[in-house]
Amino acid sequence: MKYLKFSTGDVSLNIIKHILLNNRVIGYGVPTSQNLSCAWIFNLYFEGFDKTLSFSSDVASSTGWKEYGYLRMDLKPVESNKELITYVAIEPIDISSLDILINEEDDIIAECGLILIEENKRWVVISTSPAPGAVSVKADFNTVGYKPEILLEQCSIKRI
């Protein structure tokens, strides 16, 4: 069995969890020519924080040609890729808990998404997209549709 954990760059998942649970989300950004249904980069911006949390995905192969996506998260300076990213302000979100979306099939277990949950049950889902490297976002601020690699009802969920 191959386990594909989140890729978190040079920081630990615990640091990312700490950032998400202790900072107010005030906006997001995607490349100018893309949208939330399929984007190569999805950035979250925080109130009073000089870094953005950037989401994308990676893929790994199993037996044969089948590929499985897993989520990638990186902390980057707010100014990173600013000329390529369209920033959108949103109603602030104070995240109170986090869930991992897990795809279990064949001989693979892949951490394919992250659910950000606010106390009043408002939530944001960031998950792998069918396009390698991309993510799809489900949220109340997404008006263009959610197109994940794996449907939510086909995933298991684990609280972190």
Residue 66: the pLDDT is 79
Half-sphere exposure of 135 (CA within 13 A, CB side): 27
Tokens at 110, concatenated: 């892949």
Half-sphere exposure of 31 (CA within 13 A, CB side): 12
Residue whose tokens read 């998404």: 113
For residue 107, name the pLDDT band (cuts at 50, 70, 90): confident
- CA–CA distance, 155 with 159 (Å, rounded to integer): 13
43-65 confidence digits (pLDDT tens): 999 999 999 999 999 998 777 77
Q: pTM for this one?
A: 0.94
Q: DSSP letter for 38, please.
A: B
- CA–CA distance, 114 with 118 (Å, rounded to integer): 13
Residue 1: the pLDDT is 80
Q: DSSP letter for 153, please.
A: G
CB distance 97 to 117 below 8 Å: yes
